[in-house]
């Protein structure tokens, strides 16, 4: 039986685990490999790791880190950061990673998604859509390169295009809600959910298990991804790797 997935999202910068607020001011919070070890013990549903500097710095994916993550993970792993070619995706999948996330390259070269889907299967192709509200008018737009590059694309139309090209999953990420911990952008997620039939994961804004419950109550089978919620604890945001227990998850799903 399919169930919602609760997914820690780990951001990596200079091989360290960091957390951002609205895509800026990355705060070092620890070692990503150690975090994965802890999440192993907590039996997480899936884990999503993103190298936030690879694309902006024009780097290849960090294969050394990917290898260490794949060797350590006892849960499905999705990796993103610097992915631009079919060969890169094939190499990452060959290292034992279940899914590869593509963001800016999907905007710059949409046909890449079709090529990757043919090479490794749609089930391994995740398109991340980083989205921010325009300053005037309130419309949503897709952004890349850590939110610094405006594309002029609608996230809804772009998600539809990615589905047609063979993506297996869409991650809709709210830049405005990133790290704020005041709840997901349900309005944004609703627009995308109504437009596509693919599995969808929502990222950006979760500050409590109630936020995850609200997301699941609204959409049913959905991926609920979060960063701050699973690495910070309390009002002073002390660093503490955490994840809901099996009992807590069962309560969320009922």
| CA count, 13 A, side-chain hemisphere, 178 | 23
Alpha-carbon Rg for the chain, nearest whole angstrom, is 17
Do the bridges between strand 125-133 and strand 140-144 make them parallel or antiparallel, or are there none, so unpaired?
antiparallel
Whether 216 and 253 have beta carbons less than 8 Å apart is answered as yes
Q: Is 130 a catalytic residue?
A: yes
Candidates 77, 104, 113; CA nearest to 5 is 77
Which regions of the chain does DSSP assign to beta strands (E)?
Answer: 5-13, 16-21, 24-30, 47-51, 77-80, 99-102, 125-133, 140-144, 149-150, 169-174, 200-203, 223-226, 232-233, 238-239
d(C-alpha 147, C-alpha 248), whole Å? 34
Instruction: Say which of 51, 53, 130, 211 is annotated catalytic.
Output: 130
Residue indicated by tokens 């950061």:
81
Whether 126 and 106 have beta carbons less than 8 Å apart is answered as no
d(C-alpha 173, C-alpha 176), whole Å? 9
Whether 50 and 63 have beta carbons less than 8 Å apart is answered as no
Whether 50 and 101 have beta carbons less than 8 Å apart is answered as yes
Q: List residues with catalytic annotation.
A: 130
């Amino acid at each position: 039986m399919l169930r919602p997935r609760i997914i820690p999202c780990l951001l990596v910068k200079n091989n360290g685990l960091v957390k951002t607020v609205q895509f800026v001011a990355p705060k070092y919070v620890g070692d990503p490999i150690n975090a994965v070890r802890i999440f192993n013990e907590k039996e997480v549903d899936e884990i999503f790791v993103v190298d936030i500097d690879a694309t902006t710095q024009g780097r290849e994916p960090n294969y050394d880190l990917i290898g260490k993550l794949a060797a350590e993970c006892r849960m499905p792993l999705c990796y993103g950061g610097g992915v631009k070619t079919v060969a890169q995706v094939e190499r990452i999948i060959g290292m034992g990673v279940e899914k590869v996330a593509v963001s800016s390259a999907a905007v710059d070269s949409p046909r890449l998604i079709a090529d990757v889907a043919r090479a490794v299967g749609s089930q391994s192709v995740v398109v991340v859509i980083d989205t921010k509200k325009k300053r005037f008018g309130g419309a949503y737009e897709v952004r890349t390169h850590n939110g610094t590059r405006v594309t002029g694309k609608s996230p809804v139309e772009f998600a539809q295009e990615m589905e047609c090209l063979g993506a297996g999953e869409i991650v809709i990420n709210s830049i405005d809600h990133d790290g704020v911990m005041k709840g997901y952008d349900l309005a944004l997620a609703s627009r995308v959910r109504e437009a596509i039939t693919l599995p969808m994961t929502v990222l950006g804004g979760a500050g409590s298990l109630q936020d995850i419950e609200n997301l699941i109550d609204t959409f049913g089978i959905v991926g609920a991804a979060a960063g701050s919620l699973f690495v910070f604890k309390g009002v002073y945001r002390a660093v503490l790797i955490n994840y809901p227990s099996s009992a807590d998850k069962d309560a969320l799903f009922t």
